[in-house]
């Protein structure tokens, strides 16, 4: 039985008879599918970019920072509670199993100068292990060494942004002299580019100096050994939850927190951050998708509208077909095919348009977009489904016409 | 031996118009043999169009039976009726009822689309049917490029292409001028001469005059059944 082929041919033929109407009808679906494709691409691109940024922080990392104090019921926020110290970090390194490295930092925003140039950036006081824990190597020179940290040497490792701002693009700053808060430092290394953090900060806008130097000669401190944050990197095989539990136990014991009392420190993992950011991105792309789907729905209603008009207009044609032997299902299939052809062609054009729009968006606005093959397939199937769904009622109506009445219908 | 193509017994058709029941047909007993040329005539509202719709399997009777080629078709479903129309009957209408903006060939092929005839043979048969009505060479013409007479020829070709047992013609000359009517009537006569069974409904006395058998209807009943020539076989 070649019914399907014949019906498809009939549908295409009758659509070609009214090219303007057919293309306007498809336009609804074209716009809908293009909107879906480009919005999904935008959402996917944002998620992919986010994932990349989170990965750039270093996977398998756990961050510990001082907790909040509660004064008369008012909780003052992270960092206001009991200090975290280097001894806490060392205790963790000794007592917790499954750690690959432990590091910490103190940071402060300060001005750095080199020759005539100056730049305000974040100064990070870090121990020698910091680069390893962050999985962040130098591209030139060396990172802070143990002896430099022990002697509070005035040496600095520059992030890419700082090097560019002070010395210009592509200039190797190793060996040069800079001044941090008017203290002279020798540049001993340049970090590899790291890019933005998950929160949009430029991680390359940084200067790293030995922790002891930061404490004693640049940033100052009330109590030696106070840190802003402890970072630990995990063994790839370690169970993250188990490690966090151990860290919590060690710190609670050291800080003499009674059972039932709240922790006075906070623990965040990269995985958690990634998940939170990913959830946010997912919500955003779903929202975009929902809005785009509405336009696809409107496109479907347009198809239904035109088909209803078409059925009325072609009542006589339907009567003739029935008189010469077309069954209800032949008529149903013919109109359904017209609907699906309209929406399917609209879908194909819409996909092309959507890909183009995604590209234009990413070029014009600089937002990352990612056209996923899955989105294309789903959008096409969905547009075909829209055709079937919105075409069914008019087609059904046509197939139920009484042949005698249809033949008498004024042309 | 009876060779009835069409046989009706006590055929009635009642329309419900609001609260009023309209008795369009009040018991039609009719037998039409293979090879007959029958004209049904009568004043407007006599029920001849209703009878034609029933004979054409476009409608089902309220009561009574209708046997087409010995098979009772009075209680068939709409889909089964569609198959009967497609395989057994050919229609010619007063206003041609061709699909607009569709070529003569495609119009003639239309019934074959809904049949089991393979596509390649569809073209062959449609061309042959057009040639049979004298329109060879006009396959690619659309209805608006054809005269009324030519359009009716296309319609006749469409009716013949399935090789039906009966050709049903509803006022086949109603929309044609007298010269063209003569041509169409000549064509019908020629087809009949080759053995086609024709049943026609008409106001036109010319049409009635050329048929071999005349059925006069009044108020939903056949009031006169006149044979003009001796027929082979008896009803």
Task: Give the residue, A69 or B190, on which the prediction is more confident.
Answer: B190
Q: What is the pLDDT of residue A326?
A: 92
Question: A183-186: long-range contacts at Cβ-Cβ below 8 A with a sequence spacing of 24 or more?
Answer: A183/A154, A183/A217, A183/A218, A184/A154, A185/A154, A185/A155, A185/A156, A185/A209, A186/A154, A186/A155, A186/A156
Collect all residues of chain A within an 8 Å Cβ-Cβ radius of residue B55.
Answer: none
Interface with chain A: mutation pick from B97, B143, B144, highest number of A CBs within 10 Å: B97
Residue in chain B lying closest to A319 (CA)? B97
Q: What is the pLDDT of residue A211?
A: 92
Judged against a pLDDT cut of 60, whether residue A411 lies above it is answered with: no
Q: How far A394 CA sits from the closest chain B CA (Å)?
A: 19
The low-confidence residues of chain B, meaning pLDDT below 70, are: 1-2, 229-235
Distance between CA atoms of B212 and B36, rounded to whole angstroms? 7
Residue in chain A lying closest to B98 (CA)? A320
Distance between CA atoms of B188 and B36, rounded to whole angstroms? 12
Distance between CA atoms of B199 and B184, rounded to whole angstroms? 15
The per-residue pLDDT for range A266-295, each reduced to its tens digit, is 888 877 777 777 888 888 888 888 888 888
ipTM above threshold 0.85: yes
Report yes or no: A87 and A285 within 8 Å, Cβ to Cβ.
no
Distance between CA atoms of A272 and A131, rounded to whole angstroms? 22
Q: How many CA atoms lie within 13 A of A278 on its CB side?
A: 11
In this prediction, residue A226 has a pLDDT band, given cuts at 50, 70 and 90, of confident
Collect all residues of chain B within an 8 Å Cβ-Cβ radius of residue A326.
Answer: 82, 86, 113-114
Q: How far B215 CA sits from the closest chain A CA (Å)?
A: 23
Q: How far B13 CA sits from the closest chain A CA (Å)?
A: 14
Collect all residues of chain A within an 8 Å Cβ-Cβ radius of residue B93.
Answer: 407
**Rounded mean pLDDT, A61-71:** 74
Say whether residue A291 is in contact with chain B using an 8 A CB cutoff: no
Say whether residue B53 is in contact with chain A using an 8 A CB cutoff: yes
Distance between CA atoms of A167 and A243, rounded to whole angstroms? 43
Judged against a pLDDT cut of 70, whether residue A56 lies above it is answered with: no
Whose tokens are 């039976």? That residue is B65
Distance between CA atoms of A382 and A75, rounded to whole angstroms? 51
Q: Which pair of tokens denotes residue B133?
A: 């009505």
Distance between CA atoms of A209 and A107, rounded to whole angstroms? 10
Say whether residue B93 is in contact with chain A using an 8 A CB cutoff: yes
Instruction: Point out the residue among B79, B99, B116 whose CB comes nearest to the CB of A328.
Output: B79
Distance between CA atoms of A345 and A354, rounded to whole angstroms? 14
Say whether residue A12 is in contact with chain B using an 8 A CB cutoff: no
Residue in chain B lying closest to A13 (CA)? B102
Say whether residue B65 is in contact with chain A using an 8 A CB cutoff: no
Say whether residue B10 is in contact with chain A using an 8 A CB cutoff: no
Q: What is the pLDDT of residue A72?
A: 60
Report the mean per-residue pLDDT for chain A: 85
CA angle A192, A196, A202 (to 5 degrees): 80
Say whether residue B123 is in contact with chain A using an 8 A CB cutoff: no
Check CB contact under 8 Å for A324 and B79. Answer: no
Q: What is the pLDDT of residue A70?
A: 56
Collect all residues of chain B within an 8 Å Cβ-Cβ radius of residue A407.
Answer: 58, 93, 97
Q: How far A346 CA sits from the closest chain B CA (Å)?
A: 25
Residue among B184, B66, B208, B175 nearest B133 (CA): B184
Check CB contact under 8 Å for B99 and A322. Answer: no
B2 dihedral zone (left: phi>0; alpha: psi -120 to 50; beta): beta
Instruction: Point out the residue among A17, A325, A404 whose CB comes nearest to the CB of B86.
Output: A325
Q: What is the pLDDT of residue A286?
A: 86
Element of type H or E holding A107: strand A99-114
Residue in chain B lying closest to A329 (CA)? B79
The per-residue pLDDT for range A227-274, each reduced to its tens digit, is 888 989 888 787 888 888 899 889 888 888 888 877 888 888 877 777
Task: Give the residue, B93 or A59, on which the prediction is more confident.
Answer: B93
Q: Which pair of tokens denotes residue A404?
A: 């005698």
Q: What is the DSSP string of A337-360?
A: HHHHHHHHHHHHHHHHHHHHHHHH
Say whether residue B56 is in contact with chain A using an 8 A CB cutoff: yes
Q: What is the pLDDT of residue B204?
A: 83
Strand arrangement, sheet containing B63-68: B20-33, B4-17, B63-68, B71-72
Check CB contact under 8 Å for B114 and A319. Answer: no
Instruction: Point out the residue among B58, B79, B119 whose CB comes nearest to the CB of A404.
Output: B58
Check CB contact under 8 Å for B97 and A323. Answer: yes
Phi, psi of A232 (to 5 degrees): -125, 140
Check CB contact under 8 Å for A322 and B82. Answer: yes
Q: How many Cβ pairs closer than 8 A exist between chain A and B?
A: 62
Say whether residue A21 is in contact with chain B using an 8 A CB cutoff: no
Check CB contact under 8 Å for A326 and B82. Answer: yes
Say whether residue B111 is in contact with chain A using an 8 A CB cutoff: yes
Q: Other CB atoms closer than 10 Å to residue A301's CB: what's the count?
A: 12
Collect all residues of chain A within an 8 Å Cβ-Cβ radius of residue B91.
Answer: 323-324
Distance between CA atoms of A146 and A314, rounded to whole angstroms? 88
DSSP H helical segments within A151-262, as ranges?
A: 160-167, 211-213, 240-254
Per DSSP, the three-state class of A118 is strand
Say whether residue B110 is in contact with chain A using an 8 A CB cutoff: yes
Check CB contact under 8 Å for B86 and A407. Answer: no
Q: What is the pLDDT of residue B231?
A: 46
Interface with chain B: mutation pick from A1, A323, A332, highest number of B CBs within 10 Å: A323
What pTM, to 2 d.p., does this model score?
Answer: 0.69
Quick one: CA dihedral A32, A35, A41, A45, positive or negative? negative
Report yes or no: B149 and B185 within 8 Å, Cβ to Cβ.
no
Say whether residue B186 is in contact with chain A using an 8 A CB cutoff: no
**Rounded mean pLDDT, A1-12:** 73
């Amino acid at each position: 039985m070649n019914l399907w082929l014949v019906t498809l041919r009939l549908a295409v033929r009758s659509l070609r008879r009214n090219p303007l109407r057919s293309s306007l009808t498809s336009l609804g679906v074209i716009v809908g599918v293009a909107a879906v494709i480009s919005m999904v691409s935008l959402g996917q691109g944002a998620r992919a970019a986010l994932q990349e940024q989170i990965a750039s922080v270093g996977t398998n990392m756990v961050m510990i920072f001082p907790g909040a104090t509660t004064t008369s019921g008012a909780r003052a926020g992270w960092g206001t509670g009991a200090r975290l110290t280097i001894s806490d970090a060392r205790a963790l390194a000794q007592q917790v199993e499954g750690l690959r490295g432990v590091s910490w930092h103190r940071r402060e925003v300060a001005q750095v100068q080199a020759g005539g140039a100056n730049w305000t950036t974040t100064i990070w006081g870090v121990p020698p292990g910091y680069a390893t824990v962050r999985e962040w190597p130098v591209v030139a020179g060396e990172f802070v060494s143990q002896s430099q940290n022990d002697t509070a040497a005035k040496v600095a490792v520059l992030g890419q942004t700082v090097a560019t701002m002070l010395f210009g693009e592509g200039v190797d700053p190793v060996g040069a002299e800079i001044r941090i808060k008017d203290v002279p430092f020798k540049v001993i290394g340049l970090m590899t580019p790291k890019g933005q953090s998950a929160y949009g900060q430029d991680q390359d806008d940084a200067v790293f100096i030995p922790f002891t130097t930061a404490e004693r000669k640049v940033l100052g401190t009330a109590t030696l050994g106070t840190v802003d944050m402890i970072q630990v990197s995990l063994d790839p095989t370690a169970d993250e939850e188990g490690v966090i539990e151990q860290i919590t136990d060690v710190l609670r014991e050291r800080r003499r927190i009674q059972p039932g009392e709240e922790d006075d420190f906070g623990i965040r993992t990269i995985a958690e951050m990634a998940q939170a950011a990913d959830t946010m991105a997912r919500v955003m792309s779903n929202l975009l998708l929902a809005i785009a789907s509405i336009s696809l729905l409107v496109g479907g209603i347009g198809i239904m509208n035109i088909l209803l008009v078409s059925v009325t207009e072609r009542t006589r044609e339907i009567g003739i077909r029935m008189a010469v032997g077309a069954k209800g299902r032949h008529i149903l299939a013919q109109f359904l095919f017209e609907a699906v052809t309209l929406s399917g062609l609209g879908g194909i054009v819409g996909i092309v348009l959507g890909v183009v729009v995604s590209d234009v968006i990413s070029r014009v606005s600089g937002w990352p977009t990612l056209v996923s093959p899955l989105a294309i397939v789903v959008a096409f199937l969905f547009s075909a489904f829209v055709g079937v769904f919105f075409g069914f009622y008019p087609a059904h109506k046509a197939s139920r016409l009484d042949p005698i009445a249809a033949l008498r219908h004024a042309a | 031996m009876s060779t009835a193509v069409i046989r009706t017994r006590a055929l009635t058709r009642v329309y419900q118009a609001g609260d009023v029941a309209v008795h369009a047909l009040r018991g039609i007993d009719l037998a039409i043999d293979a090879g007959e040329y029958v004209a049904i005539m009568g004043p407007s509202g006599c029920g001849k169009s209703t009878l034609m719709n029933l004979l054409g399997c476009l409608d089902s009777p309220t009561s009574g039976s209708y046997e087409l080629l010995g098979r009772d078709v009075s209680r068939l479903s709409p889909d089964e009726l569609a198959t009967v129309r497609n395989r057994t009957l050919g229609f010619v209408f007063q206003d041609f009822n061709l699909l607009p903006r569709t070529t003569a060939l495609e119009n003639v092929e239309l019934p074959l689309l809904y049949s089991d005839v393979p596509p390649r043979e569809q073209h062959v048969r449609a061309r042959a049917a057009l040639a049979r009505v004298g329109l060879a060479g006009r396959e690619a013409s659309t209805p608006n490029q054809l005269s009324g007479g030519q359009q009716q020829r296309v319609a006749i070709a469409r009716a013949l292409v399935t090789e039906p047992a009966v050709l049903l013609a509803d006022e086949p000359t109603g929309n044609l001028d007298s010269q063209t009517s003569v041509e169409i009537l000549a064509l019908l006569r020629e087809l009949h001469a080759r053995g086609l069974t024709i049943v026609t409904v008409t106001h036109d006395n010319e049409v009635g005059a050329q048929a071999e058998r005349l059925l006069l209807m009044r108020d939903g009943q056949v009031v006169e059944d006149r044979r003009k020539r001796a027929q082979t076989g008896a009803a």
